[in-house]
């Protein structure tokens, strides 16, 4: 499903997954039909609905601030952040790579829960300053927002990787063991254990057992769904950790194809595409200007030009310019290259030294290394 872009904060794109509207609607509905009617019996439906909508908006704005805190700390450590997305289970900051030191990981992980706890304290402080009543609409909303942000902070600190608490746990294991890969494996398996425990509690409630945790069928169902989400995320983290460990033995220079096809920007698309696209639908050329990388033109860019315009269109006009490219150096780890390519959905990445293209590394080449290691099925 295509994400909806809301805008950007500090240069970080803010996206909404279409499924987010489901959780937004459910939250609003529960607040309007159950929470506020029971807390404000003397107020009418219009008040309950208005409070529900305002509460849902402010709560998801709080989740956005939670993820923004992670992102800003990541930027302090020069870790790029691709976007922040609100989706069915809350929000996620798409941080392009992990921290290189356990302390950095710890601070990045703690930033979100700390922000949520500060928001909880702020909402309760405003509630106290407005009189501390429990029977007026504004004060009841402030209490709910304070409680929910507190719950968000505490829940995220559970040591269930890849949640924030799981990342804190991983940083502690990393600090003690000195091994990032071992720490990731321990944290991910612990996360899977928590996920299975949550799903078990949810299923027990559905079978009629009182688990003292789920409370209602809705809560039991959510525990199962969240457990499934966490189990899948932890399993993917384990697979990714194995990939990173296997590729960590190589540098980009070890796996690149040297001397890739390089052309000048004034070459026509016709000269590059005609008779070639049919034979190699994944062909790509690097475009240089004054001996430096200027851009890349692949089959995708060539096909975007109508064939009738091939002779009149130059490679420089059709290429993706270098400022929009993600290049790597021969000394970069192959695992970092794969992570960047997966994040940016790239099939090829130029290997550049002193501004010149010295090679190209393809996603297929990296996958073949993983296949040889037995980590990817043939």
- pLDDT of the residue at 81: 86
* 7's tokens: 């805008």
Q: For residue range 331-367, list pLDDT tens digits in order.
A: 988 888 887 777 777 777 888 888 788 888 888 888 8
- Comparing 136-140, 143-147, 235-239, the range with the smallest average pLDDT is 235-239
Are 235 and 257 found together in one domain? Answer: no
Q: Report percent pLDDT > 70 for the chain.
A: 97
Cα(191)–Cα(288) distance, rounded to whole angstroms? Answer: 48
Are 24 and 145 found together in one domain? Answer: yes
> Looking at the DSSP assignment, which residues form a beta bridge with residue 321?
295
Are 86 and 153 found together in one domain? Answer: yes
Cα(25)–Cα(101) distance, rounded to whole angstroms? Answer: 40
- Per-residue burial over 140-151, b = 16 or more CB atoms within 10 Å of its CB, e = otherwise: bbbbbbbebbbe
Q: Mean pLDDT throughout 178-205? A: 89
Asked if residue 324 belongs to a domain, the reply is yes
Torsion angle (degrees, nearest 10) of CA 216, 222, 224, 230: -150
Helices 164-177 and 180-206: angle between axes, nearest 10 degrees: 150
Domain boundary (114, 141, 157) is at: 157
Cα(118)–Cα(108) distance, rounded to whole angstroms? Answer: 16
Are 225 and 143 found together in one domain? Answer: no
Are 257 and 243 found together in one domain? Answer: no
Who's near 24: CB < 8 A, 6+ residues apart? Answer: 56, 60
- Comparing 123-137, 141-155, 159-173, 280-294, the range with the smallest average pLDDT is 280-294
Cα(280)–Cα(300) distance, rounded to whole angstroms? Answer: 12
Provide the domain count of the chain: 3
With vertex at residue 289, the alpha carbon angle to CA 287 and CA 294, rounded to the nearest 5 degrees, is: 50
Is 0.85 topped by the overall pTM?
Answer: no
Are 9 and 114 found together in one domain? Answer: yes
- pLDDT of the residue at 240: 82
Q: Is the pLDDT of residue 58 over 90?
A: yes
Asked if residue 173 belongs to a domain, the reply is no
- pLDDT of the residue at 378: 65
Asked if residue 57 belongs to a domain, the reply is yes
Are 258 and 233 found together in one domain? Answer: no
Q: Where are the beta strands (DSSP E) in the chain?
A: 4-9, 12-16, 81-87, 90-95, 257-258, 262-264, 284-289, 292-298, 320-321, 348-353, 356-362
Q: Mean pLDDT throughout 170-182? A: 91
- Comparing 70-84, 118-132, 145-159, 282-296, the range with the smallest average pLDDT is 282-296
- pLDDT of the residue at 181: 87
> In which band, very low, low, confident or very high, does the pLDDT at 52 lie, cut at 50, 70 and 90?
very high
Q: Which domain holds residue 192?
A: 182-247
Q: For residue range 216-230, list pLDDT tens digits in order.
A: 556 677 788 888 888
- pLDDT of the residue at 323: 79
- pLDDT of the residue at 126: 94
Q: Mean pLDDT throughout 48-77? A: 94
**CATH label of the domain that carries residue 309:** 3.10.580.10
Are 151 and 261 found together in one domain? Answer: no
pLDDT top residue among 259 and 267: 267
> In which band, very low, low, confident or very high, does the pLDDT at 244 lie, cut at 50, 70 and 90?
confident
> In which band, very low, low, confident or very high, does the pLDDT at 164 lie, cut at 50, 70 and 90?
very high
Q: Mean pLDDT throughout 10-37? A: 90
Q: Mean pLDDT throughout 272-281? A: 84
Q: How confident is the prediction for the chain on average, in pLDDT? A: 87
Q: Is the pLDDT of residue 214 over 70?
A: no
């Amino acid at each position: 499903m295509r994400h909806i872009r809301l805008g950007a904060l500090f240069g970080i794109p803010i996206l909404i997954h279409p499924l987010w509207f489901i959780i937004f609607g459910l939250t609003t509905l529960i607040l309007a039909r159950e929470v506020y009617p029971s807390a404000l019996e003397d107020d009418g439906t219009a008040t309950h609905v208005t409070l529900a909508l305002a509460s849902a908006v402010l709560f998801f704005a709080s989740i956005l601030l939670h993820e923004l805190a992670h992102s800003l700390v990541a930027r302090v450590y020069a870790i790029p952040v691709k976007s922040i997305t609100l989706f069915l289970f809350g929000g996620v900051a798409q941080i392009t790579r992990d921290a290189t030191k356990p302390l950095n990981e710890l601070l990045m992980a703690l930033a979100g829960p700390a922000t949520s706890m500060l928001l909880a304290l702020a909402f309760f402080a405003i509630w106290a300053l407005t009189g501390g009543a429990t029977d007026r609409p504004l004060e009841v909303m402030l209490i709910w927002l304070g409680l929910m942000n507190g719950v968000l902070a505490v829940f995220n600190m559970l040591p269930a990787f890849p949640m924030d608490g799981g990342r804190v746990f991983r940083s502690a294991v990393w600090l003690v063991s000195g091994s990032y890969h071992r720490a990731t494996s321990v944290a991910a398996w612990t996360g899977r254990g928590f996920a299975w425990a949550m799903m078990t509690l949810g299923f027990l409630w559905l079978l009629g057992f009182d688990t003292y945790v789920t409370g209602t069928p809705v809560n039991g169902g959510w525990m199962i769904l969240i457990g499934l989400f966490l189990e899948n995320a932890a399993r993917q983290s384990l697979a990714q950790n194995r990939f990173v460990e296997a590729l960590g033995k190589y540098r980009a220079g070890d796996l690149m194809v040297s001397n890739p096809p390089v052309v000048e920007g004034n070459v026509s698309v016709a000269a590059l595409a005609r008779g070639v696209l049919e034979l190699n639908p994944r062909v790509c050329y690097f475009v240089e200007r004054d001996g430096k990388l200027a851009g890349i033109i692949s089959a995708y860019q060539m096909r975007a030009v109508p064939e009738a315009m091939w002779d009149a269109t130059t490679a420089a006009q059709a290429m993706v310019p270098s400022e929009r490219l993600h290049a790597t150096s021969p000394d970069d780890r192959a695992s970092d290259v794969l992570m960047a390519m997966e994040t940016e959905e790239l099939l090829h990445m130029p290997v550049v030294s002193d501004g010149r293209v010295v090679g190209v590394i393809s996603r297929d080449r990296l996958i073949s290394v993983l296949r040889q290691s037995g980590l990817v099925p043939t």
